[in-house]
Amino acid sequence: MARQFIRDLTVGDLSALPTRCRGCLFWELAPIERAFASEHDPEFEKEAWFSEVSLVVGACGKVAYSDNDPVGYALFGPPEIFPGALSFPARVSKDALLLATLHVLPVAEREGIGRALVHAALREAKGRGKRAVEAFGDRQWRHPDCVIPAEFLEKVGFRVRREHVRFPLLRIDVRSLGRIAEDAAAAVEKLLESVFRPEPAAKAAP
């Protein structure tokens, strides 16, 4: 059984992110700024943004590992560090952290990694004196993208704060920490049972 753990996302982890995420500046830059960023080195721009933000507000994400391999990550923090949020029709509450994006690699899907990353973001919000975590969801999500599937967010306990036909703003209170932790523990227990369940004994031939 692989050893799984979650820790703060650091600038050193960026090179291990999925290729499409390493140079993605969707959340890090305002829409008009992204047009000019394409003329430069986007991976360098992302590292520069990450380093600066980490110095100012501290850790702005979590990364999940299975043994020594990263299998998922979440990017979150105060809404003001994510100019890309201006692309959306609603504004994140001042008492919440923004969960900008969350991604789990296919090899680790259905193992509770996404739920565990949400739990980590909630713990971070509570530690910073925030009351909730908010996120923009995509109701038409079809493949890995910068915006989290709305279906996933609602499944782990987010509720719609501001409705939108495509990109609703959803919210989960830090008081949900206990329930999220219990659900994550149940998912791990179910996984262990599926891995270690003994095969039924074969019937003796008549």
Q: Dihedral sign for Cα 176, 182, 183, 185, please.
A: positive
Residue 205 has pLDDT above 70, yes or no: no
CA distance 99 to 112: 17
Task: Note the pLDDT tens digit of each residue in 20-53.
Answer: 899 899 999 888 787 776 567 889 989 999 999 9
**Which of 81, 137, 139 lies closest to 114, judged by CA?**
137
CB atoms < 10 A from the CB of 37, how many? 17
Q: Are 155 and 176 spatial neighbours (Cβ–Cβ below 8 Å)? A: no
| Structural domains of the chain sorted by starting position, each given as residue range(s) with its CATH number in brackets | 4-192 (3.40.630.30)
Residue 195 has pLDDT above 60, yes or no: no
Task: Note the pLDDT tens digit of each residue in 58-86.
Answer: 989 999 998 888 999 999 999 999 999 99
CA distance 84 to 11: 20
